[in-house]
Structure 1
Amino acid sequence: MADLSEEAKLFIVRALARFSSPAEVVVMIREDLDIATSIQQVRTYNPDHPKFEAGEKWRPIFEAVRKAYLEDVSAIPIASHAFRLNALQKNYDRAMKHGNLVLANATLEQAAKEVGGVLTNARNVSVQQADRGFRSLTSEERRAAAAEMIRIAISKDASQFATSTH
């Protein structure tokens, strides 16, 4: 086992708290700190692992980093709307450069979903009634409304398809 400095130990604890695998941590330590270590040695710094042997000094640090990591998704680039759109733009540009229209169209569709809020967990379904303002829908009413929207969309597609084939 490599003799690790306090800096290297802290690096390992922080990486493990952010859900990096021991194998990923071994690679990060080698690349960032130029230290060769093993998966087994890295595991000893994970309080969630049965082989935890690093000592109680590291447990509160691990827990604090894990808590902050779970509470602040803004530190994760892919959680950013702008980051995702930028990545989609790069994919679209590459697809067009190589003449891959299928991928380009799929990327455009994905970007439209991203911009339109289709890919969110927001559930703000309501309906405006003529005399009583807005009200929330029950799950049964949401199903019926979705079925009606699908029926309308299918009938529009069918009518457009019928006119385009003649």
Structure 2
Amino acid sequence: MPTLKDNVKQHIVTQLACYETPTDVANSVREEFGIEITRGQAHSYDPNSSRGHQLAQKWKDLFKVTRETFLEDTSAIPVANKAVRLKRLQRMADKAEQMRNYQLASQLLEQVAKECGGSYTNKRELSGPNGSAIPTETEVRVRYIRPEHRDE
């Protein structure tokens, strides 16, 4: 198992904090730094794992800060942006039509319509005609039961 420099350790910790799997992290280290590490070695840099409990405090702190930032900032994830998703769906629909795969193109167009119509959100707006309030009518009925007819 090779001894890793701080820049490699930082890369591993930040990748794990962004919910990358140890296997993906090991592959990333091989591609970025040309260093072979096992997924177990990568996993040992996760302070939430049983292997990561002996991790140095600076790496635990980096993990915590990176994880919090990752969870709060969705702008770093391109597909979290509606415009990016629509652009990619447009490319896929065009490609499907070129390939004469009209069923796939139709499904992609349906997905675009749902995306534009807000089907993929939790936000729902209810309104009446022309955006006005929904008219409500309340009917109250009072029923009097004579004491001699009550069940005892």
Deviations along 1:89-143, one digit per CA (max 9) or x if unpaired, are 1110111111001001111111111112121121333446xxxx52699xxxxxx
> Are the aligned partners of 1:43 and 1:51 in contact in 2 as well (CA < 8 Å)?
yes
Flag the 1:55–1:96 CA change in 2: closer, same or farther, 3 A.
same
TM-score, L = length of structure 1? 0.75
Aligned to 2:24: 24
Q: How does 1:25-40 map onto structure 2 within 5 Å?
A: 25-40=25-40
Q: How does 1:75-94 map onto structure 2 within 5 Å?
A: 75-94=76-95
State how far apart, in whole Å, the 1-side matches of 2:43 and 2:30 are: 16
Give the SS at the match of 2:133: strand
> Are the aligned partners of 1:74 and 1:80 in contact in 2 as well (CA < 8 Å)?
yes
State how far apart, in whole Å, the 1-side matches of 2:135 and 2:26 are: 51
Mind listing any 5+ residue stretches in structure 2 that lack a counterpart? Answer: 137-152
Q: Is residue 109 of structure 1 aligned with residue 113 of structure 2?
A: no
Mind listing any 5+ residue stretches in structure 1 that lack a counterpart? Answer: 138-166
TM-score, L = length of structure 2? 0.81
> Are the aligned partners of 1:126 and 1:136 in contact in 2 as well (CA < 8 Å)?
no
> Are the aligned partners of 1:125 and 1:136 in contact in 2 as well (CA < 8 Å)?
no
Residue 79 of structure 2 aligns with an amino acid whose one-letter code is: I
Q: How does 1:94-133 map onto structure 2 within 5 Å?
A: 94-127=95-128
Q: Which has the higher strand share?
A: 1
% identity of equivalent residues:
37
Deviations along 1:51-102, one digit per CA (max 9) or x if unpaired, are 1132222111100000000001111111011110111011101111110010
State how far apart, in whole Å, the 1-side matches of 2:63 and 2:134 are: 46
Between the two proteins, the alignment pairs up a number of residues equal to 134
Q: How does 1:3-14 map onto structure 2 within 5 Å?
A: 3-14=3-14
C-alpha RMSD of the superposition: 2.0
